[in-house]
Amino acid sequence: MLEAFKDMEACFDERELGLALLKVGLKLDQQGEDPEKALTFATRALKVLDIGDDKPSFLVAMTLQLMGSVSYSLKRFNDSLGYLNRAKRILGRLEEEGTTNVEDIRPVLHAVLLELSNVKTAMGRREEAIDNLKKCLEIKELTMDKGSKELGVANRELAEAYVAVLNFNEALPFGLKALDIHKSGLGDYSVEVAYDRKLLGVIYSGLEEHDKALEQNVLSQKVLKSWGLRSELLHAEIDAANMQIALGKYDEAINTLKGVVQQTEKDGGTRALVFISMAKALCHLEKIADAKRCLEIACGILDKKETASPVEVAEAYSEIAMLYENMNEFETAISLLKRTQSMLEKLPQEQHSEGSVSARIGWLLLLTGKVTQAIPYLESAAEMLKESFGSKHFGIGYVYNNLGAAYLELDRPQSAAQMFAVAKDIMDAALGPHHADSIEAYQNLSKAYSAMGR
């Protein structure tokens, strides 16, 4: 294609090369080996095709989608967002006007929305990314056979996106739909069905329906075993142990984990996860010294993997910190969380996790009487979580509640009342006025007013 294009450049005027420039750019982007080169072709194509009249152009929309995709590959997220939003507006106008065949518009619109979802996820704007993924699924439902594997995968990906923002209620119907499609089309023993069941296990755990979670996990393990997918199987067994712990079956969980640890590599990340889960079970059995030893082994493994797998290691450190919290080892927990935060702040796509970690550091500092140190962590958490989840997510309500408590502790009841009022509004909207946490927000606001003499 590049050879042919060189020949064309010798014969044609730049204005006649628009479509060829677009085609070469699309091919380069598809191969993904040289995004800078793809961007050069896309930029030239846009200059030729975007002639500036009021009529929306399908080719301009395609070029903008290409520029958005390439900019995303180059981690130029703001540029990507600008190109993709303009492409989306053009495609919307074309659909309204009916001048272009809707069957031509839909695949390009799907590509634009999917890319928007990727960009917003990379920028930490998870809730907005989910909206784009939902629209992608709607397009697939209009264009694909109802029993197609791809439609099942699209449902599962949307469920996974909801799980990432801890919205398990919304995730469940899409997870079940994926399972239903894959079971009907591929049979009970397909790999897709195993992945669907594994995800449903996570969703049911999030909903605290641990029996259902374990049932899905066991069924998933059978399929993974039959396909010889060893790595996925080990992770499923660790998930099963965590479900057993949630059900209070601590000895069973420890036996499960003893079986898994023998199959892991000495310095492997999977082995670290086994020791974290083992520590969790031992904590419940009040074998604190043994639990701490397990956590020390896990940290020793994870320490060597920080650069290669920062997201996985950060998640593991966060879980270890929670176990130290449960053992009242607050200084150790804070130290680990600060280490986690320093890893996450280099990864914009993990802004939601960084916000959660910052909120936990603030809460622990508050708990240990370091109130003035806690406030900046809590304020930073509120801003990051708002950007990631929108302003009415229940998690942000807890942060404002803690900020209110901090200001009350510092004898600033007016500031405390403002924070508690925000917390109350969020809890009302997210959980309803009769939820225990909403009622607590009202009680806190009452305390602040009382301290102000009102």
Q: Is residue 35 over pLDDT 80?
A: yes
> What are the phi and psi torsion angles at 39 (to 5°)?
-65, -35
Spatial CB neighbours of 320, under 8 Å, sequence gap ≥ 6: 276, 279, 295, 298, 299, 336
Q: What is the pLDDT of residue 54?
A: 67
pLDDT of residue 53: 63
Neighbours of 434 (CB within 10 A): 8
The encoded tokens of residue 96 equal 């309204």
- Specify if 87 maps to a domain: yes
Q: What is the pLDDT of residue 93?
A: 92
Q: Is the pLDDT score of 288 beyond 70?
A: yes
| Sign for the pseudo-dihedral over CA of 382, 388, 393, 395 | negative
All residues at 6 or more sequence positions from 208 whose CB lies less than 8 Å from its CB, including other chains: 246
pTM for the full predicted model: 0.85
pLDDT score of 380: 96
pLDDT of residue 20: 94
Which residue pairs, CB below 8 angstroms and at least 24 apart, start in 110-115? 110/136, 110/139, 110/140, 110/143, 111/65, 111/69, 112/61, 112/65, 112/68, 112/84, 112/87, 112/88, 113/88, 113/139, 115/65, 115/68, 115/69, 115/72, 115/80, 115/84
CB 384 within 8 A of CB 358: yes
Residue that finishes a domain, picked among 76, 108, 123: 123
Q: Is residue 412 part of a domain?
A: yes
Asked if the structure places residue 348 within a domain, the reply is no
d(CA 291, CA 56): 64
- Which pLDDT score, from 0 to 100, does residue 330 have? 96
Say if residues 168 and 146 touch (Cβ distance below 8 Å): no
Radius of gyration of the CA atoms of the chain, in A? 26
**pLDDT tens digit sequence for 184-241:** 999 999 999 999 999 999 999 999 999 999 999 999 999 999 999 999 999 999 999 9
Examine residue 291 and state whether it is found in any structural domain, yes or no: no
User: Cα 329–333–334 angle (5° rounding)?
Assistant: 120
Q: Which of 123, 148, 176 is the last residue of a domain?
A: 123
Rounded to 10 degrees, the C-alpha dihedral 152/157/161/163 comes to: 60
pLDDT at 379 over 80: yes
pLDDT value, residue 363: 97
Residues 191 and 179: their CA atoms lie apart, in Å, by 11
Contact 137, 109 (CB under 8 A): no
Residue 285 has pLDDT above 90, yes or no: yes
Q: What percent of the chain has pLDDT over 70?
A: 99
Q: Quick check: is 444 in a domain?
A: yes
Does residue 328 belong to any structural domain of this protein?
A: no
Residue 277 has pLDDT above 90, yes or no: yes
pLDDT over threshold 80, residue 324? yes
Mean pLDDT score across all residues of the chain: 94
Tell me which of 123, 157, 186 is where a domain ends: 123
The tens digit of pLDDT for each residue in 54-103 reads 677 899 999 999 999 999 999 999 999 999 999 999 999 998 988 788 88
What are the pLDDT digits (tens) for 380-420?
A: 999 999 988 888 888 999 999 999 999 999 999 999 999 99
With a pLDDT cut of 90, the percent of the chain lying above it is 85
Asked if residues 90 and 60 have their Cβ atoms less than 8 Å apart, the reply is: yes
Split at pLDDT 50, 70, 90, the class of 430 is confident
Task: Kindly report, residue by residue over 144-182, the tens digit of the pLDDT.
Answer: 999 999 999 999 999 999 998 889 999 999 999 999 999
Full residue range of the structural domain in which residue 114 is found? 1-123
The greatest distance separating any two alpha carbons of the chain, rounded to the nearest whole angstrom, comes to 85
> Tell me, what CATH number does 91's domain have?
1.25.40.10
Is residue 220 domain-resident? no
Cβ atoms of residues 361 and 335 within 8 Å: no
Residue 451's pLDDT is what?
Answer: 95
Per the structure, the count of domains in the chain is 2
**For residue 360, pLDDT beyond 90:** yes
The answer as to whether 108 is a domain residue is: yes
User: Can you give the pLDDT at residue 351?
Assistant: 87
